[in-house]
Structure 1
Amino acid sequence: MPSQNISYECPVAVPVVDSVAPDLQKSEIAEPGSKPEAKEAKMIMRIRHKKMKKHKLKKLRKRMYFLWRKQKLARKAKRMTIYNKELDAIKATGENFDAEEFVRGQLAKARRGGYYINVFETKQQQLP
């Protein structure tokens, strides 16, 4: 297979304009000692206030982390003890439940209401 020599033309680099430096002809140069406008000063103060709030919050979190963690774990433990007590009460009602006694109580209520049925007799005794 014959080798092919292909030549490509590369694009010429475009000169980069340094846009970091401000255009002194268009921008106004502030004189030293001049105060910024009221609106600009207000925005600067608002930005500084937000930064300070963020800084203070970060500082507070760093200072209080272990105390807050201890309080959170205490709240969780308290909720777990309440939950375990409720669970034990439910288990106790399940263990103390007597089905035969429950049925007898329901039949007694029915008899007081005017109904009568003898569940404990056999079918042959009821037929004649």
Structure 2
Amino acid sequence: MKEVIDNSTVLIIDDDQRNIFALKAVLKSRSLNPLCASSAAEGLALINSEPAIKMVLIDMMMPDMDGYEAIREIRRSGRNLLPVVAVTAQAMVGDRDKCLAAGADAYLSKPIDVDQLMEVITRMIK
């Protein structure tokens, strides 16, 4: 299955550069091609202009447009089948359900467990 995901482009949308740096390093070390956006608006523009994107990892709490609204926009766009994973520090009861209700395909809480992240990526990129 590893060959299937090698060199796949994964978009990271997060307003915190430390999170982008950490996720980017993990993805690169696993032979993935990370693409990064520091706002939801920038991420949506990339999704609409980069057909190579196979998956999105999106932070839910961003200042310009939160991840919930960004996921709803992705679902309304022509890329509505694109796998989207909510990545958030919000880990209270109901937060997972809220992310899935917005249209996320999966939910990962921060700090990210790398093995869990890779399991989700491998399952969703086909």
Instruction: Please give the range of the TM-score, normalised by the shorter of the 2 chains.
Output: under 0.3
Choose 1 or 2 for highest CA Rg: 1
Q: Larger % of helix: which?
A: 1
- Please give the TM-score of this superposition, normalised by the length of structure 1: 0.14
- Please give the TM-score of this superposition, normalised by the length of structure 2: 0.14
Q: Larger % of strand: which?
A: 2
Larger RCO (CA within 8 A; separation ≥ 6)? 2
